[in-house]
Chain A
């Protein structure tokens, strides 16, 4: 069922043109992206609706967030997206070692992001701002938490990507691109969450 339109297997660098395929990676993964985006959009709508009703309380909560930490998170994830895109480019050209290095960089960025998040959450909890306190922080912890779950799934996906790259017999460009699509989605959701929680005041 999974057919590869670009050259499958090692060595076939000059692949046939990709005119037969309309999206990179499995089309099914794009279904997931769209569906999850709809769900996240609904969460954001709920957030904005409730924020509009209790603006002062939300602003009060948001004031405890450190903007530059959020910016740093965003930069780290954007870097990881760039890295995974490079990895796909290398894989497409047949440079599998370079692709692997880029994928490892992606994972490293992911770990850094996770570490930053843990630092941020710990700081907030020590300040007395927990999941259940106030009007803003349930949303904050929920959105960043569910995003983090997606990130953790992303690590599994990256693991699959690395496995694909390492084993010449089982390599599938489509699977590799599908993994990258997922990772980009994780980044995309973060950018939206960052904008909503940290920036919109």
Chain B
């Protein structure tokens, strides 16, 4: 009974998108931290020879890892679609939802395309001039962490929408967490100025603390999106509380919804 009910569940497209989101972020973390080892980032003060060594040491990891992102990177759109949908569910103008949609659609380009291309090109020819390699290294890391505008404004838009929302789609404290995430984009700005130290692209402040905040933010919104899907009543008024977990209640709801 439950298996059939789930297949015709009107929320199945939302759940598909949510699971795809979880898959994408998991893949992203594994590729960047473990396979390519581009996070934590390489050191900005490396000489061209050290950069050549950095590329050589990660040759296979970079190529394979970023090939996976080249193939599967489009999954990032599912997170974006869910968030856009959740903003649309709010009582605020759809302009908020569509602005967010566009901003984060563009974000994929600095968000992974540039670094994938720069690092792939960097490592594919082992004999390349180290000075050129360092140019690619800079391009990769700076475009990746240093492209701030889309995430800054996108977070502020989401924050504003939540604060003005009367449907209670997200808790207000999450609006403030969006502000914290937006501020990480301000904190990373000095990485364009420093070749070393805590404010460089690999620095304690500009990278480590920022990534902790970003990680908390991402984990939180993935969890909250799940709550939104559970609570969704396909109406336009305030979003009801999450359904109780007991199975009898769940079955009754599914019957009523189908």
Contact = CB atoms under 8 A, between A and B. Distances in A.
Interface of A: 1-2, 26-29, 31-32, 35-36, 39, 42-43, 46, 50, 131-132, 138-139, 142, 146, 149, 153
A8 B30 CA distance: 51
**Main secondary structure on A side of the interface with B:** helix
B199 A36 contact: no
Given A131-B190, A131-B193, A32 B209 contact: no
Nearest to A175: B163
B63 interface: no
A32 B176 CA distance: 6
Contact of A1 (B168, B194, B198): B168
Contacts of B198: 46, 50, 138-139
Q: What range describes how many residues of B lie at the interface?
A: 20 to 34
A27 B157 CA distance: 22
Interface string B180-192: 1001001100100
B199 A26 contact: no
Contacts of B179: 32, 153
A35 B175 CA distance: 13
B214 to A, nearest CB: 12
Given A28-B171, A29-B176, A146 B186 contact: yes
Nearest to B198: A46
Contacts of A32: 173, 176-177, 179-180
Interface of B: 166, 168, 171-173, 175-177, 179-180, 183, 186-187, 190, 193-194, 197-199, 204-205, 209, 213, 238
A142 B177 CA distance: 21
Given A28-B171, A138-B190, A46 B204 contact: yes
Nearest to A35: B180
Given A138-B197, A142-B199, A146-B187, A39 B209 contact: yes
A28 B171 CA distance: 8
A20 B167 CA distance: 23
B209 A42 contact: yes
A130 B114 CA distance: 31
13 contacts: A1-B238, A27-B173, A28-B175, A32-B177, A32-B180, A35-B180, A138-B197, A138-B198, A142-B190, A146-B183, A146-B186, A146-B187, A149-B183
A155 to B, nearest CB: 15
A139 B205 CA distance: 10
Contacts of B186: 146, 149
Contacts of B197: 138
A31 B193 contact: no
